[in-house]
Structure 1
Amino acid sequence: MNFYGIRAIYRFEMARTWRTLMQSIASPVLSTSLYFIVFGTAIGSRMGEIDGISYGAFIIPGLVMLSLLSESISNASFGIFFPKFSGTIYEVLSAPVSPFEIVTGYVGAAATKSILLGLLILATARIFVDYSIVHPFWMLAFLVLTAVTFSLFGFIIGIWADDFQKLQVIPLMVITPLTFLGGAFYSINMLPEPWQTLTLFNPVVYLISGFRWAFYGVADIHVGISLSMTALFMLICLAVVAWIFRSGYRIRS
């Protein structure tokens, strides 16, 4: 394996993060802090508990997931789209690095940024809301697995997109609504039928439920199912990425 090639791509993508620190880190943390202030402190103080958890603490896993999903997709999609846009993708493809090494470099960097962002948001949440983490290992496991999975998904979007506007279509029109409807601000058990059953077709529900279980030991869906669904989505993304490099879809043309 060409570790030098992986490291070169990884370091280049990470260096771009430090050059755009306000946009990459500060802006998502600030916007999420506003959610904590409005929903966690202002509204949460006037609401009752959900599953024995204060409302401000209950929404923390959902808000972290909201930022984690959007930033993972954004970082990975832009990371591979810009070389396509500028034409430098052909230099990468002609270099002595395999498709696996290319994906590892780009997706690894995007996932690292998202994980750092998620940890920063959790640290910021402590300022506004008191919360606990019952299963810290599984919290980190869900954080890493989700970041890698949706960075792979973002990589696919970056290959598919042929202009900058398409990079924002999926995160804004699909992922954000699914997150809001996936139990980020409420328990799906609070929904009447048939909406409770229909919500189970939302893949983001399993991510938020599993992540919330890691914090408080309570979940809308069994944690094993949440973990399995996340792993399944990652395998699907890996299969699509493999097909892209095998067929040359929007890479070699």
Structure 2
Amino acid sequence: MNLYGVWSIYRYELGRTLRTLFQSIASPVISTSLYFVVFGAAIGSQMTAIDGVSYGAFIIPGLIMMTLMAESISNASFGIYMPKFSGTIYEILSAPVSPLEIVIGYVGAAATKSIVLGFIIMLTARLFVDYSIAHPFVMLGFLILTSLTFSLMGFIIGVWADGFEKLQIVPLMIVTPLAFLGGSFYSISMLPPVWQTITLFNPVVYLISGFRWSFYGVSDVAVGVSLGMIALFMLMCLATIGWIFKTGYKVKV
């Protein structure tokens, strides 16, 4: 494996984050902090506990996961789209780096930024809401797996998009609504039985439920099922990326 090539891509993408620090880090942290203030400190103080957890603390895993998914997609999609837009993608493809090494460089950098952002949001949440982490290693595992999986999804979107507006279609029109309907602000057990069944078809439910279990030991679905869903989605993304490089879809035209 060409580790120098992987490191070059990885380092460049992380350097872009430092050059756009407010947009990459400060903006999502401030936006999520507003949720903590409004839903956690203000509205949460007037609501009863859910599964023995105060409402302000209950929504923290959902908000972290929602931000993590959106930022992972955004970082990875923009990272691979810009070389396509500027035409430098052909220099990367002609360099002595394999498709696997290209993916590791771009996806690894995007996932790293998302993981760091997740920890910053967790630290920021301490300023507004008191919470605990019952299973820190499981929490870290969910954080890493979710960042990697949605960074892979973002890489696919970046290859597919042929304009800046398309980079935002999937995060805004699909991922964000699924996150809001996936139990970020409530437990699906609070829904009528019919809607509970319908909600289980939302893949984000499994991510948020498993991540919440790592904090408080409560979840809407079994943790093993949550991990299985993440693994399945990751394999689907890897298979799609493999097909992209095998056929040259929108990267070798």
TM range (shorter): over 0.9
Whole-Å separation in 2 of the counterparts to 1:142 and 1:149: 10
Mapping for residues 91-110 of structure 1, pairs under 5 Å: 91-110=91-110
The residue that corresponds to 1:22 in the other structure is 22
Equivalent positions of 1:89-238 (< 5 A) are 89-238=89-238
2:241 and 2:119 map into 1 onto residues whose CA distance is 28
Give, in angstroms, the shift of residue 194 of structure 1.
Answer: 1.1
Q: 1:78-102: per-residue Cα shift (whole Å, max 9, x none)? A: 0000000000000000000000000
RMSD: 0.3
Task: For 1:176, give the aligned amino acid.
Answer: T
The CA distance in 2 between the partners of 1:153 and 1:190, in whole Å, is: 31
The amino acid that maps onto 2:132 is: S
Deviation (angstroms), 1:53 = 0.1
Query: What is the distance in 2 between the residues matched to 1:68 and 1:138?
Result: 16
Separation of aligned partners in 2, 1:82 and 1:199: 36
Whichever residue aligns with residue 219 of structure 1, its letter is S
The size of the alignment, in residue pairs, is 253
1:110-165 superposed Cα distances (whole Å, 9 cap, x missing partner): 00000000000000000000000000000000000000000000000000000000
| Secondary structure in structure 1 of the residue aligned to 2:193 | coil
Whole-Å separation in 2 of the counterparts to 1:24 and 1:120:
12
| Cα distance per residue 1:33-69 (max 9 Å; x no partner) | 0000000000000000000000000000000011000
- Helix, strand or coil at the partner of 1:242: helix
Runs of 4 or more, structure 1, over 2 Å off, are none
3-state DSSP of counterpart to 1:59: helix
What is the percentage of aligned positions where both structures have the same residue? 73
User: Amino acid of the residue matched to residue 81 of structure 1?
Assistant: Y
Deviations 1:225-252 (A, max 9, x none): 0000001000000000000000000000
Q: Secondary structure at the match of 1:96?
A: coil
Q: What code does the residue aligned with 1:135 have? A: H
Measure, in 1, the Cα distance between the counterparts of 2:247 and 2:114: 29
Shift of 1:193: 2.3
Unpaired runs of at least 5, structure 1: none
Give, in whole Å, the separation in 1 of the partners of 2:97 and 2:203.
Answer: 33
Partner of residue 44, structure 1: 44
Partner of 1:60: 60
Gapped regions of structure 2 (runs ≥ 5) = none
Amino acid at match of 1:231: A
TM-score (norm 1): 1.00
Match of 2:32 in 1: 32
**Which whole-Å CA distance do the structure 1 matches of 2:198 and 2:97 have between them?**
44
